[in-house]
Amino acid sequence: MLIHTLKISLLAVLCSVISIAADAQKVQEPQNLSPEWSQPYAPFRIAGNLYYVGTYDLACYLVTTPKGHILINTGLAASAKTIKASVEALGFKFADIKILLTTQAHYDHMGAMAAIKKMTGATMIVDEKDAQVMADGGSSDYALGGAGKTYQPLKADRLLHDKDTVILADMNLVMLHHPGHTKGSCSFLFDVKDKERSYKVLIANMPSIVTEKKFSEVTAYPEIEADYAYTFSQMKTLSFDIWLSSHASQFGLHKKHQPGDAYRPSAFMERAGYDAALRDLQLQYDKKIAH
């Protein structure tokens, strides 16, 4: 009887392992990606309690508090170890990450999210419009889906709507719904401070166009044209001191900061680059809807 029970238990474990392995094999992160997406980059303090912990181009941000930390974006699947090393190099405990956020549910920002959630036990919070695509690992994404999962699926612990607030200790991050790039792509607006002053920070998800189809042909997202128009109108009215985004190249990180540079929040305090980037994307949008 004991041997029979052990056989059943071992069979159950084996089936579970096979099931997990099979599920993992279904995740196919795209290959031949830009090497800058996985190239390590030295972490640094941006302003106050806000830090950069991403790779050379895939921007990830750490917001620290006495009661734990917030991580925004994770880059590709292989970036989990890189982000952990960056957080610890700054003198913080990786296990103290309490909240996980993302600016968009694409594999280049969600790739390591499930692994980091498992490592830290943090709460996953997402714009409600990206919850479904996050839960199916990107397979239902209107532009990048269709070929299966591109990252490990993850269920949201909390859903956000436009202008909802994420609170941890004395930090209040306002989520701004900026759809188009994904159905639930979003930006975050919040204040940080140092000994000199406070800074209003915008982590912007820039509304770049990822589909080559005409908007009218995107049947999986019939609101796409209107959503982009809404996002452009909203982003042009925002006020901030510092702006950052989902990709380092979008906000000119490498022109503003080099590894080893001294702490200098003023390097990121400029409006012209933001306005220029929006104008360029608006032109691309206008050209697309004109054809």
Q: What is the DSSP string of 227-290?
A: HHHHHHHHHTT---SEEEESBGGGGTHHHH--TTPPP-GGGG--SHHHHHHHHHHHHHHHHHHT
Q: Which two three-digit tokens encode residue 43?
A: 């972490």
- Cβ neighbours of residue 247 closer than 8 Å, sequence gap 6 or more: 57, 58, 59, 206
User: Helix, strand, or coil here: 119?
Assistant: helix
- Cβ neighbours of residue 88 closer than 8 Å, sequence gap 6 or more: 94
Whole-number Cα distances in Å, 165 to 127, 148, 195: 11, 32, 25
Q: What is the helix (H) or strand (E) element at residue 187, kind and residue range? A: strand 186-193
- Report the candidate in 183, 81, 193 with the shortest Cα–Cα distance to residue 141: 183
- Residues 20-39 have pLDDT tens digits of 444 444 899 998 889 999 99
φ, ψ of residue 219 to 5 degrees: the values are: -70, -25
Cα dihedral sign, 137-115-35-260: positive
- Cβ neighbours of residue 95 closer than 8 Å, sequence gap 6 or more: 119, 120
User: Helix, strand, or coil here: 62?
Assistant: strand
Which phi-psi region, left, alpha or beta, contains residue 148 (left: φ > 0; alpha: ψ -120 to 50)?
left
Sequence ranges of the domains in the chain: 35-289
Which residue ranges of the chain lie beneath pLDDT 70?
A: 1-25
Q: Which two three-digit tokens encode residue 229?
A: 């128009």
CATH number (3.90.226.30, 3.40.50.620, 3.40.190.10, 3.60.15.10) of 35-289 reads 3.60.15.10
β pairing state of 50-52 and 44-47? antiparallel
Model pLDDT, residue 291? 78
**What Rg, from alpha-carbon coordinates, does the chain have?**
20
Q: Which two three-digit tokens encode residue 173?
A: 């991050």
Cα–Cα distance measured from residue 244 to residue 226, given in angstroms and rounded to the nearest whole number: 25
Helices (H), the chain: 2-25, 79-89, 107-110, 113-120, 131-135, 224-235, 253-256, 272-289
The secondary structure of the chain in percent helix, strand, coil, rounded to multiples of 5, reads 35, 20, 40
Model pLDDT, residue 53? 98
